[in-house]
Structure 1
Amino acid sequence: MLALLVSDQHTAVDGLIHIAVEQQKHRKKISSGHGMFELSRPERRTALIARELQHYHIDIVALSETRIADKVSLREEGGGYTFFWKGKPQTEDRIHGVGFAIRTALLKSMPALPVRINERLMKLRIPLSRIRHLTIISAYAPTLTSSDESKEKFYEQFYEVIRSTPPSDKLVVLGDFNASVGERLQQLGRRSGQTRSRQDQ
């Protein structure tokens, strides 16, 4: 059984690890003319995230708003997780960005690595058996204040990813859709918002 988690790397994960940031630090002893003293250097953020994912037995986490440029992969050898990101080019502002953190041991059973579509979409296909697969989409949608053009472009690409997923696959969408439905909680019924199936596309 896979344990999945979605997280905004700059908010939810920060809340998950804020105690570890203070408590877990590399301490290096420095010799000087006045004796020995300790210099504290915070651990790399991915190492902290990996440790917390391990603690909560999470196998795959979808990351959003990573703000990391280009295509990046990083393996935390001691933490047991491998990180995959996709962001804007180096020459552009470091905004948006999506990714996956995957338990490294699972990568051995995956025939392909995550597919980086753009800075808002990534997908991962995992074999469940000889004939069955699971497709996971990591998404980071434009905010409500974004232009209509950027929102339409995102959802066109998002639905194209869904359409391209084999109908026999189990489909899981993880991400931050930056949206709210209804003005008041009391107004929400059993179903809110627009729903679409792959058969309708």
Structure 2
Amino acid sequence: MKDKLNIATWNIRTLLQKGKLENIKQEMERMKLNILGLSEVRWKGAGKITSGGHEIIYSGGTESAKGVGIIVDQTVTKAIKGYWALSDRVLLVKIAGKPVDLKIIQVYAPTANSNDEDLDKFYDELDTAKTQCKSQDPLIILGDFNAKVGTEKVDDIVGKHGLGIRNERVEKLIE
């Protein structure tokens, strides 16, 4: 695997549209991305597929809604050691590295219209995913948290360069 990885996340709204996966792969190449976290994939079930040298690992539910995924380019494909599809909102992927492995968690949090129980369940699933990571392994959490952090600085957690007005979902994110 490479010494330097370019990593991003994107709420793609759906992968059910014809040609959408090809567009995403082209954007990865254009942006020189090695790893791209995907929110709102909307694929059913969980698994991994290969498409043109890219590997897509996904975790969805029983319906074509929500869903998360991680797509990696050919430089990272062979380094994938495993994945854990926790739910249609949380996916953990383990990538081999030296001297330690890299763990990536991709998330798609409930929207502001969702109830508190759904939000609590999501953060419980995220906590479960984090417990699967050794403390010495680097951990990257990507995704759409459906929280607006606003422009107000909060300690060392939220900087002043956010957008919009803070919403109530940010409080749970900051916790």
Residue 177 (structure 1) aligned with residue 145 (structure 2): yes
Q: Secondary structure at the match of 1:142?
A: coil
Q: Distance in 2 between matches of 1:171 and 1:109?
A: 16
The answer for unaligned runs of 5 or more in structure 1 is 14-41, 197-201
Q: Percent identity?
A: 26
2:20 aligned residue (20, 24, 45): 45
Match of 1:116 in 2: 85
- The answer to whether the 8 A contact 1:50-1:76 is kept is no
Measured on the aligned residues, the alpha-carbon RMSD in Å equals 2.3
Match of 1:66 in 2: 41
Match of 1:99 in 2: 69
Q: Distance in 1 between matches of 2:22 and 2:149?
A: 36
Query: What are the superposed Cα offsets for residues 68-113 of structure 1, whole Å, 9 maximum, x if unpaired?
Result: 1112433222xx3121221111xx3x21100011113422133x23
The answer for unaligned runs of 5 or more in structure 2 is 159-170
Query: How many angstroms does 1:189 deviate by?
Result: 4.2
- The answer to whether the 8 A contact 2:34-2:75 is kept is no
Tell me the number of residue pairs that the alignment of Structure 1 and Structure 2 aligns. 157
Query: What are the superposed Cα offsets for residues 102-125 of structure 1, whole Å, 9 maximum, x if unpaired?
Result: 113422133x23321110011111
- The answer to whether the 8 A contact 2:49-2:55 is kept is yes
Equivalent positions of 1:183-198 (< 5 A) are: 185=151, 187-190=152-155, 191-192=157-158, 193=171, 195=174
Q: Distance in 2 between matches of 1:76 and 1:161?
A: 27
Match of 2:164 in 1: none
Query: How many angstroms does 1:164 deviate by?
Result: 2.4
Q: Distance in 2 between matches of 1:107 and 1:167?
A: 24
Q: Secondary structure at the match of 1:99?
A: strand
- The answer to whether the 8 A contact 2:82-2:95 is kept is no
Q: Distance in 1 between matches of 2:67 and 2:46?
A: 10
Query: What are the superposed Cα offsets for residues 23-70 of structure 1, whole Å, 9 maximum, x if unpaired?
Result: xxxxxxxxxxxxxxxxxxx96221221122112210010000111111
Query: How many angstroms does 1:188 deviate by?
Result: 3.5
| Structure 1 moving runs of 4+ over 3 Å | 187-196
Equivalent positions of 1:123-134 (< 5 A) are: 123-129=92-98, 131-134=99-102
Q: Which one has the largest radius of gyration?
A: 1
Match of 2:56 in 1: 83
Q: Distance in 1 between matches of 2:149 and 2:79?
A: 39
TM-score by length of 1: 0.70
Q: Distance in 2 between matches of 1:104 and 1:113?
A: 16
Q: Distance in 1 between matches of 2:141 and 2:21?
A: 23
Q: Distance in 1 between matches of 2:6 and 2:26?
A: 15
- The answer to whether the 8 A contact 2:57-2:70 is kept is yes
Paired AA for residue 85 in structure 1: Y
